[in-house]
C-alpha cells in the first residue's frame, strides 16, 4: 500500500487528517499559492534583519531576555543556540503516532506563512514525514502556552541532535536522518523559533484523543442500547418528538443514535412499552450522551481552529510587510474544551455504572437478583459493584479541571498557562478507565439478556425477545469472550476478556456499521484508530 499524500494549502485541515498522518509515512506537497505566501513571508523576515526595530526572537533574546538585542552577526547562530537550550522535555517518550502527528501539524502550520521560515527547513520537515524520520518527544515539559520545550525536540533532530525513530529503531537524530538519506539543515534567522514556538504537540495529542473519544462514544452508545434490551427499558424515551420538544445541544443526535441501536428490538412491542418510567440512568441517555456529543464538537472545533491558524510569535503579516509579537500560542480554548469534555464523560461513566448496577437489581428488572440463575447465597455479579465504584471514582477524579493549575515562569513574565497538554493527557487517561466501565456494562447486559430469553422460553415474561441492532452485533462478541454465568466464578477475568474483545477492531467496525452514519458529531470519520490501553 502506498503512503498517503496531502497537499498543504489545498483544503482546511481536519482532526481526521492528523489521525491519518499519524499512522505512518505521508507525502506532502505545497500548492503554488502556499509556496508563494511562504516565500513572501520569508522576504519580510529578511527585510527586518537590518531594521532598527526590535523583533522578538529575530534580533532579541527570548522570554525574560527579550530586552537583550542581538548583534547582526549573532542572529543566525542564536537560532541553534535557542533550540539546544530549550530541549527541556522529561519523562516517557510520547507514542510514535503522537510524535509523527506533531511533526505533521507543525509542517502544516508553517505552510500558512505566519512564521516566515526558510523553505529549505520546511522541505526537510516534509522529507522527514515521507521517509519515516519521527522525532522522539518526551511527554512532559509544556504548560500549554506554546509547546516550546517539547517542540525543541523536533527542531533538535533537524540540526542533527536529539533522537528520532526510523524504521522502528530509536536512533540519534543525525543517524536517523542519514539512514533516511537526509542531512541536517542550517537554521537561518528566526528558523529555530519558527520550528519550536508552536502548539503542534498539543494539537497532535488533542487530535488523537478526540479520535479515541469518538470511538468510546460510538461503542458506549451501542452498549447502552444493548443494556436497554437487557433491562427491558422503555425505548419510547428516544422518540424524536420528545427530543425535539427541548432540543438541547446534542440531544436530538443522541436520541437518533439510540433509535438506531434499538432498531427492530422487541422492546417496542413487548412488556417494556408498558413500563411508564425507567431509572434515570436509562431514561436520560439522550440527554447525557447528547451533552457529551456537544462537548466533543466544541473540543473538535477548538482543535481544528488551531490546526488552521497561524499561531506564530512573532507573527509575519505578509500583506503589510510587518512582524508583531502575538499571544496566539496560548491555548486556553482547547484546554477548557477538553476539561468540559472530561466532565461530560464523567456523566457518561456514572450513568454506565448505574446501568450495570440496575441490571443486577431484580425488583427493577424482573430477573434474578445479581443476575445469577442459582439464587440462594450465590453472589453472581454483585461483587463487581465494588470494581464499578472504584472505576467510577477514578473517572470522576480525572474530570478535575487541570486548566486551573499554573505557576508563573520566566521571571514571572510568563505568568499564565492553560496546562493544555496536561488536560489532554488526563482526559486520555480518563478514557482508559471509562472503557472498563463500558466493558462491564456489556457483560452484564449480555447476562441480563440471556436470562430474559430463558425466562421467555419458560413462559415467564411478556411477548417475544428480539435484540435491537446494537445488541445483535454485540451479543456474540461478548459471548465469544465470556460464557453465561451459570454459577459463581471469577468475574474479573471475564471482564478482562470482554474488554479485549469489545475494544478490538472487529467490534469497533461492527459498531461503526450500525451507528457511524447516524448524523452526529462522531459520524462520518474514516480515520478510526486502534484503541490501546496504557499498558500496551
Report DSSP state, residue 364: H
Domain containing residue 133: CATH number: 1.10.275.10
Whether 531 maps to a domain, the answer reads no
pLDDT band, residue 99 (cuts 50/70/90): very high
Q: How confident is the model at residue 275 (pLDDT cuts 50, 70, 90)?
A: confident
Q: Would the pLDDT of 97 be above 50? A: yes
| Mean pLDDT of the 298-319 span | 95
Mark whether 175 and 236 lie in a shared domain.
no
Residue 59's pLDDT is 84
pLDDT of residue 528: 42
**Domain harbouring 509, CATH code:** 1.20.200.10
Q: Which residue has the higher pLDDT, 25 or 70?
A: 25
pLDDT at 412: 59
Q: Which three cell numbers stand for residue 466?
A: 428480539
Any domain includes 76: yes
Helices (H), 240-331: 240-245, 251-261, 280-283, 285-307
Looking at the fold, whether 378 and 452 belong to one and the same domain comes out as yes
Tell me how far apart the alpha carbons of residues 267 and 282 are, in angstroms, rounded to a whole number: 14
Confidence of residue 462 (pLDDT cuts 50, 70, 90): low
pLDDT at 32: 97
Task: Give me the pLDDT at residue 534, please.
Answer: 35
Better-scored residue on pLDDT, 390 or 456: 390
Q: How confident is the model at residue 531 (pLDDT cuts 50, 70, 90)?
A: very low
pLDDT band at 268 (very low <50, low <70, confident <90, very high): confident
Task: Pick the last residue of a domain from 165, 198, 231.
Answer: 198
Contact 258, 290 (CB under 8 A): no
Percent pLDDT > 70 in the chain is 94
In this structure, are 147 and 263 located in the same domain? no
Query: Is residue 102 located within the same domain as residue 219?
Result: no
pLDDT of residue 411: 62
* 146 part of a folded domain: yes
Report whether 103 contacts 154 (CB < 8 A): yes
- Which percentage of the chain shows pLDDT scores above 90? 80
- Both 245 and 272 in a single domain? yes
For 332: left if phi > 0, alpha if psi spans -120 to 50, otherwise beta; the answer is alpha
- pLDDT(272) > 60: no
pLDDT of residue 529: 40
pLDDT average, residue stretch 44-73: 86
412 assigned to some structural domain: yes
pLDDT band at 463 (very low <50, low <70, confident <90, very high): low
Residue 291: pLDDT over 50: yes
For residue 323, being part of any structural domain is answered with: no
Contacts of residue 192, defined as CB under 8 A and 6 or more positions apart, other chains included, come to 78, 79, 80, 81, 82, 83, 155
Range of the structural domain that residue 60 is part of: 5-198
Residues 129 and 212 in one domain: no
Q: What is the pLDDT of residue 62?
A: 82
Is the pTM of the predicted complex or chain greater than 0.75?
Answer: yes
Total domain count, the chain: 2
Query: Which of 147, 175, 198 is a domain's end point?
Result: 198
In whole angstroms, give the CA distance from residue 165 to residue 18. 19
Give the three cell numbers for residue 105. 501539524
Dihedral, 390, 392, 397, 402 alpha carbons, nearest 10 = 150
Radius of gyration of the chain (CA): 27
pLDDT digits (tens, 9 = 90+) for 313-351: 999 999 999 999 999 989 999 999 999 999 999 999 999
Mean pLDDT, the chain, rounded, equals 92
Q: Per the domain annotation, does 312 fall within a domain? A: no
- What pLDDT, on a 0 to 100 scale, did the predictor assign at position 57? 83
Q: Does residue 478 share a domain with residue 383?
A: yes
> Do 268 and 403 fall into the same domain?
yes
Residue 108: inside a domain, yes or no? yes
**Range 7-33 average pLDDT:** 96
Which pLDDT band holds residue 516 (cuts at 50, 70, 90)? confident
Domain boundary among the residues 146, 165, 198 is at 198
The DSSP symbol for 96 reads H
Predicted pLDDT at 460: 62
Do 193 and 218 belong together in one domain?
Answer: no
Give the residue-averaged pLDDT of 102-130: 97
**Claim to verify: residue 422 and residue 356 sit in the same structural domain:** yes
Cβ atoms of 225 and 262 closer than 8 Å: yes
Mean pLDDT of 247-267: 95
Tell me the pLDDT tens digit for each residue of 468-489. 999 999 999 999 999 999 999 9
For residues 372 and 234, state if they share a domain: yes
Q: Which residue has the higher pLDDT, 113 or 464?
A: 113
Retrieve residue 27's grid coordinates. Answer: 507525502
Q: What are the φ and ψ backbone dihedral angles of 165, each rounded to 5 degrees?
A: -100, 130
pLDDT attached to residue 536: 32
Domain shared by 53 and 148, yes or no:
yes
Collapse the DSSP code of 32 into the 3-class scheme (helix H, G, I; strand E, B; otherwise coil) and give the result: helix
The long-range contacts involving 481-488, CB below 8 angstroms and separated by at least 24 positions, are 482/443, 482/446, 484/447, 484/450, 485/371, 485/372, 485/380, 485/381, 485/447, 486/373, 486/374, 487/374, 487/378, 488/372, 488/374, 488/378, 488/379, 488/380
Could you tell me which residues come within 8 angstroms of residue 439 by beta carbon, excluding any fewer than 6 positions away? 495, 498, 499, 502, 503
Task: For residues 380-395, give the mean pLDDT.
Answer: 98
Read off the pLDDT band of 53 (50, 70, 90): confident
> Is residue 10 situated within a structural domain?
yes
Comparing 151 with 53, which gets the higher pLDDT? Answer: 151
Amino acid at each position: 500500500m502506498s503512503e498517503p499524500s496531502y497537499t498543504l494549502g489545498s483544503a482546511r485541515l481536519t482532526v481526521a487528517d492528523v489521525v491519518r498522518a499519524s499512522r505512518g509515512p505521508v507525502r506532502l506537497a505545497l500548492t503554488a499559492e502556499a509556496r508563494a505566501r511562504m516565500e513572501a513571508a520569508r522576504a519580510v523576515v529578511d527585510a527586518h534583519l537590518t531594521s532598527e526595530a526590535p523583533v522578538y526572537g529575530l534580533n532579541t533574546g527570548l522570554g525574560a531576555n527579550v530586552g537583550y538585542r542581538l548583534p547582526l552577526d549573532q542572529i543566525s547562530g542564536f537560532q541553534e543556540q535557542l533550540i539546544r537550550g530549550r530541549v527541556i522535555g522529561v519523562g516517557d517518550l510520547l507514542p510514535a503516532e503522537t510524535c509523527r502527528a506533531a511533526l505533521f501539524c507543525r509542517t502544516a502550520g508553517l505552510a500558512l506563512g505566519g512564521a516566515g521560515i526558510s523553505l529549505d527547513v520546511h522541505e526537510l520537515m516534509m522529507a522527514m514525514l515521507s521517509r519515516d524520520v519521527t522525532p522522539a518527544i518526551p511527554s512532559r515539559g509544556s504548560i500549554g502556552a506554546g509547546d516550546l520545550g517539547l517542540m525543541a525536540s523536533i527542531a533538535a533532530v533537524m540540526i542533527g541532535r536529539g533522537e528520532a525513530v526510523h524504521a522502528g529503531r530509536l536512533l540519534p537524530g543525525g543517524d536517523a536522518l542519514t539512514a533516511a538519506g537526509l542531512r541536517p539543515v542550517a537554521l537561518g534567522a528566526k528558523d529555530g523559533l519558527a520550528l519550536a514556538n508552536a502548539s503542534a504537540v498539543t494539537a497532535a495529542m488533542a487530535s488523537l484523543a478526540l479520535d479515541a473519544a469518538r470511538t468510546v462514544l460510538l461503542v458506549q452508545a451501542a452498549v447502552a442500547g444493548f443494556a436497554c434490551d437487557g433491562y427491558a427499558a422503555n425505548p419510547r424515551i428516544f422518540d424524536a418528538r420528545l427530543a425535539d420538544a427541548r432540543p438541547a445541544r446534542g440531544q436530538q443526535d443522541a436520541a437518533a443514535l439510540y433509535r438506531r441501536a434499538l432498531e427492530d428490538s422487541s422492546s417496542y412491542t413487548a412488556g417494556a412499552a408498558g413500563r411508564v418510567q425507567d431509572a434515570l440512568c436509562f431514561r436520560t441517555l439522550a440527554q447525557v450522551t447528547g451533552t457529551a456529543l456537544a462537548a466533543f464538537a466544541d473540543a473538535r472545533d477548538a482543535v481544528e481552529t488551531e490546526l488552521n491558524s497561524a499561531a506564530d510569535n512573532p507573527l509575519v503579516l505578509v500583506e503589510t510587510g510587518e512582524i508583531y509579537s502575538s499571544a496566539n500560542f496560548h491555548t486556553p480554548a482547547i484546554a477548557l474544551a477538553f476539561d468540559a469534555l472530561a466532565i461530560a464523560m464523567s456523566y457518561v461513566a456514572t450513568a454506565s455504572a448505574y446501568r450495570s448496577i440496575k441490571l443486577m437489581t431484580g425488583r427493577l428488572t424482573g430477573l434474578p437478583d445479581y443476575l445469577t440463575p442459582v439464587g440462594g447465597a450465590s453472589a453472581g455479579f454483585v461483587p463487581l459493584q465494588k470494581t464499578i465504584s472504584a472505576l467510577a471514582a477514578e473517572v470522576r477524579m480525572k474530570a478535575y479541571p487541570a486548566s486551573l493549575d499554573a505557576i508563573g515562569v520566566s521571571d514571572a513574565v510568563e505568568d499564565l498557562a492553560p496546562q493544555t497538554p496536561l488536560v489532554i493527557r488526563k482526559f486520555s487517561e480518563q478514557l482508559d478507565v471509562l472503557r472498563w466501565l463500558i466493558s462491564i456494562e456489556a457483560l452484564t447486559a449480555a447476562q441480563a439478556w440471556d436470562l430474559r430469553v430463558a425466562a421467555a422460553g419458560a413462559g415467564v415474561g411478556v411477548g417475544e425477545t428480539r435484540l435491537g441492532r446494537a445488541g445483535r452485533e454485540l451479543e456474540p462478541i461478548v459471548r465469544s469472550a465470556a460464557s453465561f454465568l451459570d454459577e459463581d466464578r471469577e468475574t474479573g477475568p471475564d471482564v478482562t476478556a470482554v474488554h479485549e474483545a469489545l475494544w478490538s477492531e472487529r467490534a469497533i467496525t461492527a459498531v461503526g456499521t450500525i451507528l457511524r452514519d447516524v448524523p452526529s458529531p462522531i459520524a462520518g470519520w474514516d480515520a478510526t484508530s486502534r484503541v490501546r490501553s496504557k499498558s500496551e
